[in-house]
Structure 1
Amino acid sequence: MRRLSIYSIILCICLVLLTGCGKKENLLTGRYAIDNLIYEINYEFDEDKNVNVKLVTAGYVAINEMGTYQINEEGNMITLTFPDHIQSLGNFSFTLPNLSGEYPLVKGEGYIQIGDMQYNKVTE
């Protein structure tokens, strides 16, 4: 009877350890950017599945939005969700492009690719 109890305890410990070895959730962290002569686009991801996108063109911050992201189980698609709203520049108003959607995702060494755009990891 004592042996059975010891085996039961060992079995429970093994099950707890195996449960902890499950598949890790797909997350992105850090800042990724494209910077060229015309514009700069930054995506900053955190572990809580929040993302900030910032578009700077000609020194003007055209977009600076917080949203959320979700990566599928295979890790090859990302869904970005941002609020829809109107931006105003004095008397001129315009609707920001809808950045929300599902895009192919490639994670490489020091970069990510969302759709057709490649963003390099920013280290500061």
Structure 2
Amino acid sequence: MAPVVKKRNEAEIPQSFWGKEEKVCPNCGKEILAAALRCRYCGARFKSEWPIESHEYETQERLRKKLPAIKRTLIFLFTTSIIVFSAPFGIVASCLWYKKNKKTLALLPSFFKTLIITGIIAGTTQILLVVLLTCIYSLLH
């Protein structure tokens, strides 16, 4: 008995299987192999073999260049939010930064959004616990 083979839908089949062997590089506009992950003319690198438009490529490149600064900012905001004495400032700064960069965060891996939200929640929880414990202490003494 022959094994059951799942049929691929049209979206799963790479462009080179559609009868096209070449695609246009979104960076330089020259024809390259459809399965290429790097342009042999300009050296541009692609995340997958699927063809992308030039505006998508530009967006990916802008994000790639901004990523180190975004990482440093997120680590600073997270650290500031979870340290008790700086938590109020960290929470405010994190909320403002999150609101300003929401669209950018949506394009990045979910870890980055999770990090900033976790910092905000942890900082807020710490502040509420400190206020609660202070109230309890003042009532008992």
TM above 0.5, yes or no, is: no
Q: Which has the larger radius of gyration?
A: 2
Give the TM-score taking structure 2 as reference length: 0.23
